[in-house]
A and B are shown apart, each in its own frame.
Chain A
Amino acid sequence: MKIKVFDEKSKQNIEIEANTIKEISEKLNIGLGEVIIVKNGELVTEKAILKDQDELKFLSVVSGG
């Protein structure tokens, strides 16, 4: 299924073919310990079940200041 993932750098949604959040994080090289995951506006864990056309955001938890 196709999942819309918000890309922080380009500030645009990119479509990714995947079945799990873990699969997407591996494709995008995102460490799951370093992000929180927002699915369709709601906070979820990496084990949340995905549906076709779901919208995902990975928000970095790293602060530097």
Chain B
Amino acid sequence: MTCRKCRETPVIHLPNSNISLCKKCFLRYFEKKVRKTVRIYKLFNKGDTVGIALSGGKDSMVTLNILKSLAEQQRTTKIIAIAIDEGIKGYRDETLKFAKKFCEENQIPLKITSYKKEFGMTLDQILKKLEIKPCSVCGVFRRYLLNKEAQRNKIDILATGHNLDDETQTILMNQFRNNVAASSRLGPLTGIKDDKKFIRRIKPLYFLTEKEIMTYAFIKELATPFNECPYAENSFRGKVRDALNKLNSEYPSTKNSIIHSFLETLPLLKESYKKQDISYCNTCGEPTSKEKCQTCKYLELIKK
């Protein structure tokens, strides 16, 4: 078996299109796919300051690496990496070391903030105090801090490492929970235009699978050995992920079909739910759809 394009030894088989690619052709395929996503969905404009939510894991490292070369080509686009230290011992401290080293070596500005600094407690401490699903509280706090840190650094748009696997899982989870409104806030570009407090999010790796991203990370030496958060295994997402992976191994176009059919319905979903105006939390002033944001509700529980 040889590379579909140049007959060299392949490094990856892409089951959806049933082709195999060598190292060189795969890197070209991958980067082209990201560039196409940025162009078609107009993820950012020349002259923008693009923030990259950096955890040090493979997805955000690959996002940073690719956006860095795109910014260099465009010259006027600036990039800033933003990292949140949730305080997960033996996991985040290790991935952040890797992220810091990469940013130093590549002269990328990196801003780090933490749960400890902002909320007075690490995630490990919070979970000892609150009987709550780790991913729920962590997700709310992380999104809140990313938005706040992006505002502080005058970032126009914030890129995350979300990929095709993440998105298909979220779409299905929203279906299982009968939460269509949440799905209307998905897609390669999210958030509300022209809201000064809510920084829009982009997902440059939207059409790439975890396997493709890991392959790219391995070739470019961006893969960290710390892959899975210690709190992740009990989550609902983990169960949906396992079921989807099983289905996709039998029917290789499953994840792609979910994404593409979802994107066809997304404009209708956005139209249906656009009336939900954004308001601001009466405690902290940050954007929320309710009177009090979820971060402030959790903080009240912690302080009790």
Contact = CB atoms under 8 A, between A and B. Distances in A.
Nearest to B95: A65
Interface string A33-54: 1111010001111110000000
B150 interface: no
A63 B227 contact: yes
A63 B59 contact: yes
A61 B249 contact: no
Interface in B204-263: 210-211, 213-215, 218-219, 223, 227-229, 232-233, 235, 237-238, 241, 245-246, 248-249
A64 B228 contact: yes
A65 B1 contact: no
B11 A44 contact: yes
Contacts of A45: 1, 10-13, 20
Contacts of A62: 210, 227-228, 241
Given A36-B211, A45-B13, A64-B227, A59 B95 contact: no
A47 B245 contact: no
Contacts of B219: 43
Contacts of B57: 63, 65
A61 B13 contact: no
Contacts of B238: 64
State the main secondary structure of chain A at its contact with B: mixed
Interface residues of B, number: 37
A32 interface: yes
A47 B210 contact: no
B210 A63 contact: yes
B63 interface: no
B148 interface: no
A43 B218 contact: yes
B214 A36 contact: yes
Contacts of A46: 13
Contact of B232 (A35, A38, A42, A64): A64
A47 B13 contact: yes
A44 B95 CA distance: 26
Interface in A1-37: 31-36
30 contacts: A31-B246, A32-B249, A33-B245, A33-B249, A34-B210, A34-B211, A35-B211, A36-B215, A43-B11, A43-B12, A43-B23, A43-B215, A44-B10, A45-B1, A45-B11, A45-B20, A46-B13, A47-B13, A47-B20, A59-B214, A59-B223, A60-B228, A61-B58, A62-B228, A62-B241, A63-B57, A64-B233, A64-B238, A65-B57, A65-B92
Interface of A: 31-36, 38, 42-47, 59-65
Interface of B: 1, 9-13, 15, 20, 23, 55, 57-59, 91-92, 95, 210-211, 213-215, 218-219, 223, 227-229, 232-233, 235, 237-238, 241, 245-246, 248-249
Given A45-B1, A45-B12, A60-B228, 7 more contacts: A31-B249, A33-B248, A36-B211, A36-B218, A59-B218, A63-B57, A63-B59
